[in-house]
A and B are shown apart, each in its own frame.
Chain A
Amino acid sequence: AQTVTQSQPEMSVQEAETVTLSCTYDTSESNYYLFWYKQPPSRQMILVIRQEAYKQQNATENRFSVNFQKAAKSFSLKISDSQLGDTAMYFCAFMKLPLLRGTGNQFYFGTGTSLTVIP
């Protein structure tokens, strides 16, 4: 079974500063995807960024970037120039591809990190 660990239940950052959220995972799979999702107080889960395991280059989406260390099974999220709207719960997620196409992709989630951006 796959496990995803987020060791930081809560974090805070000053507005405009940079913060890094940690995530580690455990898997024997070689082909998989990793995601960071954001859940603001409105409760709507939104995809922040995704990373394919076969790609060495770290994914970047505007102010969000990841540090993907495949050998270490680490997938951290860096938020630059933090904004008040970044205040949310952040979930790291792992998705393995099914052995047989069409038999379902399973997602595994960490326990989340609650990030507060302080004005």
Chain B
Amino acid sequence: DVKVTQSSRYLVKRTGEKVFLECVQDMDHENMFWYRQDPGLGLRLIYFSYDVKMKEKGDIPEGYSVSREKKERFSLILESASTNQTSMYLCASSSAGGFRWNTEAFFGQGTRLTVV
């Protein structure tokens, strides 16, 4: 069973803090993603990575950075947290194979981040 694990379900941080959200997958997937989910806006892609040390900006990268030093781990970093970054953050992974049976994205359980 594919597992994508996010380090925290709930997180409360102060404005200006540096925040790390960690994500680990156990299926040897090449692709990993960070999304932000807000009511009425759906899932918006922050960053994705298709290989170790490779990263691509998504639709809303401002205020975020990422790190992928190992294939199984993809970290999202909020350099200086702000209240407008209060949101649900979802990590996902997928295989790069492109075959029918492995095209889907597998998601973690989400981290609800509150910045006060």
Residue ranges of A at the interface with B (Cβ–Cβ < 8 Å):
6, 9, 33, 35, 37, 42-45, 47, 50, 52, 91, 93, 95, 97-98, 101-112
Contacts and interface: CB of A to CB of B under 8 A. Distances in A.
Contacts of A35: 104-105
A43 B30 contact: no
A103 B54 CA distance: 9
Nearest to A43: B110
B42 A112 contact: yes
Given A101-B98, A102-B96, A111 B42 contact: yes
Given A45-B90, A91-B42, A109-B42, A102 B103 contact: no
Interface of A is mostly: loop
B107 A45 contact: yes
Interface stretch (B20-28, B43-51, B71-79): B43-51
Interface residues of B, number: 27
B51 A102 contact: yes
B87 interface: no
B109 interface: yes
Nearest to B33: A107
Q: Which 3 A-B pairs have the closest CB atoms?
A: A104-B50, A45-B107, A111-B42
B76 to A, nearest CB: 17
B56 interface: yes
A44 B50 contact: no
A95 B106 CA distance: 13
B103 A104 contact: no
Nearest to B38: A111
B115 interface: no
B87 to A, nearest CB: 13
A43 B100 CA distance: 25
Contacts of B31: 104-105
